[in-house]
Amino acid sequence: MMLDKHIKHDTNFNTLTLSLHLFLIAIIGLIVYANTFQVPFVFDDAGNIVDNYLIKDLRSFTEPSQLLGTRYVGNLTFALNFYLHGLNVAGYHVVNLAVHICNAILIYVLVTLLFETPKNSVRMPGAEAPLPYRLLALMISLLFVTHPIQTQAVTYIVQRFTTLATMWYLCSLVLYIKARIACTGTWQLFSAKTVCFIFSVIAALLAMKTKEIAFTLPIVIVVFECMFFAGDLKKRMRSMIPLLLTMLVIPLSLLFKSRPAGELINAMDVMTRAQTDMSRSYYLMTQFRVIVTYLRLLLVPVNQNLDHHYQVSRSLFTSEVLFSLLLLVLLIALGGYLFYRSRSAAVELRIISFGIFWFFITLLVESSIIPITDLMFEHRVYLPSTGFFIAAVTGAAILLRRYLPGFAQSKVIAVVCSIIILGTVLTAIARNEVWKDEATLWRDAVSKSPDKLRPHINLGTILTDKGEFDAAIKELQRALSINFYSTEAHYALGIAYHDKGELDAAIQEFMETLKIMPDYKDTHNILGVALARSGKIDAAIREFHEELRKNPKNMDADKNMKHALALKGRNSESGK
**262 and 298 housed in the same domain:** yes
**454 and 569 housed in the same domain:** yes
Q: Total structural domains in the chain?
A: 2
The predicted model gives 270-298 an average pLDDT of 85
Q: 176-185, 334-343, 433-442, 511-520: which range is least confident on average?
A: 176-185
Q: How far apart are CA 223 and CA 202, in angstroms?
A: 20
User: Are residues 162 and 382 in contact, defined by beta-carbon separation less than 8 angstroms?
Assistant: yes
* Domain boundary pick from 406, 434, 462: 434
**64 and 152 housed in the same domain:** yes
Q: What is the pLDDT of residue 406?
A: 61
CA dist list (Å): 451 to 288, 363, 474, 504: 22, 27, 14, 28
**310 and 392 housed in the same domain:** yes
Cα 102–chain centre separation: 16
**527 and 514 housed in the same domain:** yes
Q: What is the pLDDT of residue 261?
A: 45
**146 and 180 housed in the same domain:** yes
Where on the phi/psi map is residue 453: left (φ > 0), alpha (ψ -120 to 50), or beta?
A: alpha
Domain range holding 526? 439-573
Residues 6+ apart with CB under 8 A from 176: 196, 197, 200, 221, 224, 243
Q: How far apart are CA 177 and CA 180, in angstroms?
A: 5
**369 and 450 housed in the same domain:** no
Q: How far apart are CA 355 and CA 110, in angstroms?
A: 12
The predicted model gives 378-388 an average pLDDT of 97
**423 and 478 housed in the same domain:** no
Task: Output the average pLDDT for the chain.
Answer: 88
- Express each pLDDT in 478-501 by its tens digit: 999 999 999 999 999 999 999 999
Q: How far apart are CA 91 and CA 78, in angstroms?
A: 10
Q: For every residue of 380-401, which 3-state class applies, written as one string? A: HHCCHHHHHHHHHHHHHHHHHH
Q: What is the pLDDT of residue 125?
A: 46
Q: How far apart are CA 361 and CA 369, in angstroms?
A: 13
Q: How far apart are CA 569 and CA 526, in angstroms?
A: 21
* Domain boundary pick from 416, 434, 452: 434
The predicted model gives 366-379 an average pLDDT of 92
Specify the pTM: 0.91
**112 and 180 housed in the same domain:** yes
Q: Can you give the CATH number for the domain in which 456 is found?
A: 1.25.40.10
Res. 10: pLDDT tops 80 = no
Tell me phi and psi for residue 117, to 5 degrees. -65, 155
User: Are residues 383 and 361 in contact, defined by beta-carbon separation less than 8 angstroms?
Assistant: no
Q: What is the pLDDT of residue 319?
A: 94
Q: What is the pLDDT of residue 369?
A: 87
195 SS3 class: helix
Say how many C-beta atoms besides its own lie within 10 A of residue 223's C-beta: 17
* Domain boundary pick from 370, 403, 434: 434
> Residue 556: pLDDT band by 50, 70, 90 thresholds?
confident
Q: How far apart are CA 48 and CA 54, in angstroms?
A: 9
**40 and 114 housed in the same domain:** yes
**110 and 222 housed in the same domain:** yes
**424 and 567 housed in the same domain:** no
- Express each pLDDT in 129-143 by its tens digit: 567 788 899 999 999
Q: 361-375, 400-414, 426-440: which range is least confident on average?
A: 400-414
Span between the terminal Cα atoms of the chain, in Å? 104
- Express each pLDDT in 35-65 by its tens digit: 999 999 999 999 999 999 889 989 888 888 7
